């Protein structure tokens, strides 16, 4: 579904992505892990077309995303830190995105209802707490029933109840056949939904394996322990 | 187009644009009220407009673009063309600043001055607003840092509004032994503010006020030709900086 063909990106002297090749298939839930500053967010932004790679190409359903924006109709993106126009209200933001996507029927309003956002549509974005901002991001990511979900630290800042609701929602999406790409430092949270893992370090792709293989390689029972094992061995 | 709607709504709510229109109105009405001779009044207003319109346009637009960072980031992850976001911001900023200029200065000028002078004042003032919005787009795409971007904008305004005519005059005295009229004409095309001044003064035909570049302009083109040439160059001044910034924005990493 998404094919990444040898992309590289350099910010000044820093090589953030170094010749990354990846195949991401439908129905998978992929955890993107690695130490801070290893290029996870840059990779995600490259898929979204926010960062333009110096070399290489990204294909979405077989078509290059270069100079294209239509493919983003199929992507729901939840950024690590949602940044929104400060003096717009929650209601205006949601209305604006609906207008821009030109989709008003058949929307997925489950998160909207369960987070009870309807009660605070008047609130301005700058007055919101980090957690509420995350809720708005989550609602927007799921609202248009996308085929691909890209979630950058989705549960950071959410209270346990909200985070549980979101995890249920991610599992449902996976069952529906979505491709889910997720980064998180809280690996135990991902345990039961993740089917594959991508491990990055200093802009390089270190491994891309299914969870079963990962556990076999490291000889540990859980995802969290396996990843810590990998992190330790690669640090040596 | 959908993006433009949200930009315009947001700008028109902004108190600075309203204050700007009121300030222009206050200046214009009081000038015409104090001067019994309308063409003297026009000259006073001209000088005020040549200073304030570029300054407010370039500063307001630069700050607005930097503050729209979040808005831009929000939109690029959705199916929206990048160039459309940039064009919507440009159209929104230009049209609201032009609107403020028309409401503030345009109405009194149309009432007090004769029709053709008023028309030229309205057209050049609007063009100046658009040009300095375009310059703001260019300086804000050049650097990520807001303070630097605003600094670049102010420097450009200072250069075009105050330093430029001085530099031309200095060059003229330095090279007065040589035939440099043509070079001066070309030089004056390099500053939209000087061009606007020339354009209006050519029409008013007050050579004493024209400044050095204006006098040369008149000799080279005659009044009507000069008018057309300078209008054309002003339009280029609005288009080129914006076109460069658009090219850069398409390739910017967000």
| Mean pLDDT of the B110-114 span | 86
| Mean pLDDT of the A8-17 span | 90
Taking only the tens place, the pLDDT of each residue in B34-79 is: 887 877 888 888 888 999 999 999 999 999 999 888 888 888 889 9
CB contact under 8 A, A83 and B2: no
Q: By residue range, what is the domain housing residue B26?
A: 2-250
Tokens standing for B196?
A: 């606007």
| Mean pLDDT of the A9-29 span | 90
Task: Answer whether residue A219 shows pLDDT above 60.
Answer: yes
Chain-centroid distance, C-alpha B26: 20
| Mean pLDDT of the B109-134 span | 90
Task: Answer whether residue B186 shows pLDDT above 90.
Answer: no
Q: How far apart are CA B200 and CA A45, in angstroms?
A: 50
* B108 in Cβ contact with B42 (< 8 Å): no
* Confidence band of B206 (pLDDT split at 50, 70, 90): low
Q: How far apart are CA A141 and CA A146, in angstroms?
A: 8
| Mean pLDDT of the A146-160 span | 90
A88 contacts in B (CB within 8 Å)? 10
Q: Which of B6, B147, B148, B146 is nearest to A95 (CA)?
A: B6
* A33 in Cβ contact with A183 (< 8 Å): yes
Taking only the tens place, the pLDDT of each residue in B225-244 is: 777 888 888 999 999 999 99
Supply the DSSP string of B199-243, one letter for each residue.
HHHHHHT-GGGSHHHHHHHHHHHHHHHHHHHHHHHHHHHHHHHHH
Average pLDDT of chain A, as a whole number: 88
The residue written with tokens 């800042």 in the block is: A157
CA dist B10 → A89, A92, B3, B15, B154 (Å): 12, 11, 11, 10, 24
Task: Answer whether residue B180 shows pLDDT above 80.
Answer: no
Helix B115-142 vs helix B82-101: crossing angle, to nearest 10 = 140
User: Given this model, what pLDDT does residue B213 score?
Assistant: 65
Supply the DSSP string of A51-65, one letter for each residue.
S--SEEEEEETTEE-
Task: Answer whether residue B183 shows pLDDT above 90.
Answer: no
Chain-centroid distance, C-alpha A35: 16
Q: How far apart are CA A110 and CA A65, in angstroms?
A: 30
CATH number of the domain that residue A169 is part of: 3.40.50.300
Percent of chain B clearing pLDDT 70 (strictly above): 92
Task: Answer whether residue B222 shows pLDDT above 70.
Answer: no
Task: Identify the three-state secondary structure at position B130.
Answer: helix
Question: Smallest CA–CA separation between B81 and chain A, in Å?
Answer: 6
ipTM: 0.84
* A32 in Cβ contact with A44 (< 8 Å): yes
Q: Which residue of A has its CA nearest to B78?
A: A72
What is the number of H-type helices and E-type strands within chain B?
Answer: 12, 0
Question: Smallest CA–CA separation between A89 and chain B, in Å?
Answer: 12
User: Given this model, what pLDDT does residue B223 score?
Assistant: 61
Q: How far apart are CA B92 and CA B102, in angstroms?
A: 15
Task: Answer whether residue A190 shows pLDDT above 80.
Answer: no
Q: Which of B78, B71, B3, B249 is nearest to A69 (CA)?
A: B78
Q: How far apart are CA A143 and CA B154, in angstroms?
A: 43
What is the number of structural domains in chain A? 1
B158's CB contacts (< 8 A; 6+ apart) are none
| Mean pLDDT of the B22-37 span | 89
Question: Smallest CA–CA separation between A186 and chain B, in Å?
Answer: 25
CB contact under 8 A, A50 and B254: yes
Q: By residue range, what is the domain housing residue A154?
A: 2-235
Task: Answer whether residue B92 shows pLDDT above 80.
Answer: yes
CA B57-B214-B164 angle, to 5 degrees, is: 50
What is the number of structural domains in chain B? 1
Q: Does B2 touch chain A if contact means CB atoms closer than 8 Å?
A: yes
| Mean pLDDT of the B135-139 span | 94
Task: Answer whether residue A4 shows pLDDT above 80.
Answer: yes
């Amino acid at each position: 579904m998404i094919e990444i063909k040898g992309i590289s990106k350099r910010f000044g002297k820093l090589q953030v992505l170094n010749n990354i090749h990846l195949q991401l298939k439908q129905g998978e839930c992929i955890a993107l892990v690695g130490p801070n500053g290893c290029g996870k967010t840059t990779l995600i932004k490259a898929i979204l077309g926010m960062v333009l790679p110096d070399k290489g190409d990204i294909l979405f359903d077989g078509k290059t995303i270069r100079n294209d924006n239509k493919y983003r109709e199929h992507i729901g993106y939840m950024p690590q830190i949602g940044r929104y126009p400060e003096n717009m209200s929650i209601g205006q933001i949601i209305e604006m995105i609906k207008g821009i996507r030109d989709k008003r029927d058949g929307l997925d309003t489950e998160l909207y209802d369960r987070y009870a956002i309807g009660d605070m549509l008047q609130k301005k974005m700058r007055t919101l707490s980090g957690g509420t901002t995350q809720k708005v991001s989550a609602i927007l990511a799921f609202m248009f029933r996308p085929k691909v979900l890209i979630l950058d630290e989705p549960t950071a800042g959410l209270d346990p109840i909200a985070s549980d609701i979101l995890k249920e929602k991610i599992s449902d999406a996976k069952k529906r056949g979505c491709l889910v790409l997720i980064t998180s430092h809280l690996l135990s949270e991902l345990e039961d939904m993740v089917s594959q893992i991508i491990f990055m370090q200093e802009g390089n792709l270190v491994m891309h394996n299914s969870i079963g293989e990962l556990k076999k390689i490291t000889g540990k029972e859980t995802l969290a322990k396996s990843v810590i094992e990998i992190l330790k061995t690669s640090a040596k | 187009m959908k993006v433009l709607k949200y930009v315009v709504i947001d700008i028109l709510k902004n108190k600075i644009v309203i204050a700007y229109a009121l300030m222009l109105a206050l200046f214009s009405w009081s000038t015409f009220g104090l001067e019994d001779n309308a063409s003297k009044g026009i000259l006073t207003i001209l000088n005020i407009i040549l200073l304030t319109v570029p300054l407010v346009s370039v500063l307001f637009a630069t700050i607005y673009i930097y503050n729209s960072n979040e808005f831009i980031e929000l939109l690029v992850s959705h199916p929206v063309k990048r160039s459309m976001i940039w064009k919507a911001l440009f159209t929104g900023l230009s049209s609201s600043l032009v609107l403020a200029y028309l409401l503030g200065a345009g109405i009194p000028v149309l009432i007090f001055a004769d029709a053709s002078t008023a028309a030229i004042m309205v057209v050049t003032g609007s063009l100046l607003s658009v040009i300095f919005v375009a310059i703001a787009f260019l300086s804000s795409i050049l650097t990520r840092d807001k303070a630097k971007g605003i600094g670049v904008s102010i420097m450009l305004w200072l250069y075009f509004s105050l330093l430029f005519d001085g530099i031309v005059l200095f060059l003229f005295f330095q090279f007065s032994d040589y035939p440099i009229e043509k070079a001066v004409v070309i030089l004056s095309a390099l500053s939209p503010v000087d061009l606007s001044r020339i354009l209006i003064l050519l029409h008013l035909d007050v050579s004493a006020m024209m400044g050095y570049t204006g006098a040369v302009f008149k000799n080279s083109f005659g009044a009507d030709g000069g008018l057309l040439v300078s209008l054309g160059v002003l339009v280029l001044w609005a288009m080129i900086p914006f076109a460069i910034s658009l090219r850069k924005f398409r390739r910017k990493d967000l």
